[in-house]
Structure 1
């Protein structure tokens, strides 16, 4: 004869609640693109755009991103300010992009310390382009050969509808249905994304100041 055991309904409910409390809600874990990126040779994807912090203190210096080509759908831009950890406010060009494909991407961040400088470098693998969705960048500088399609300049930043990123009412804004940039080089204080995927990527840390060029 087999022995059987039973639990009261209250004990069963308590056990289920304990299991729920012990679970990790992975969808709420944001992945920061930059110095805190953990990157292997596969693909890195951030959380959904709704789960990215709306505001955070930026590092004390901008990082560098270069690319052979960026092809974007739905791009918006307006001017604003971002504060670093010490409270210093930096003027930025806020750029929103609904979706993008980026070829030949290189991202670098220089860290300076009493022991010298070190540079974190992340490169995308070839030939697959980087895929990104719902991007928001705070730029201090951008250079390259840019082409806009269906562009609107002088639009109130609060009414921008191209990327999902809007600015304060009364602020100058502009947007385009399509944007392409060749030989892109930018300095950014921050970057957030609903999805950022790098296939076959490589990350390295080098002594000295060796930013992407």
Structure 2
């Protein structure tokens, strides 16, 4: 199946209001270039080093999304070009993003990552912490950061009810505070659970395997 068919098939499963971030971690320059030629412009990477190498080699109108856990000492490397940081999971990290935005004379767009999964390995803010940050932003803090929405990852489980409840908890928080804090983006859902996420209100999904095929981690 070629890149255009895979992309078209995936987009056909998404409502018009849902945007697609193609998860390109571990994918080659050639694979990403093929998906780009098929019309995809938004690509998500987990590792800063990998994103930097790809950004240098690929067309400059690609919109790069940092979707993995972001270490504070790595923000400076992506600040000059990143389109959206999905994974701001602490106020300390947000201060670093603000600092690097100033250095690069940019307004950096971010999502606050809220922990909705029951797994200990997942990162994220509590709902109260997210609300405190949004309130600070409204009062004038972080002038070089644009908080456009929220991101959450459900537990990795076959329990559809649990996944649904976790997504709905974030959607409820999003809807409650959307108008006051001018939130636009609710990023939930990956290859294994994005249909549930969309039913639960997601308007941005992060899909890799469905687009590119199964990963070969032995490469």
Bigger CA radius of gyration? 1
Q: Which structure carries more relative contact order (alpha carbon 8 Å, separation 6+)?
A: 1
Indicate the TM-score class for this superposition, using the shorter chain for normalisation.
under 0.3
Return the TM-score normalized by structure 1: 0.24
By percentage of residues, which structure has more helix?
A: 2
Return the TM-score normalized by structure 2: 0.23
By percentage of residues, which structure has more strand?
A: 1
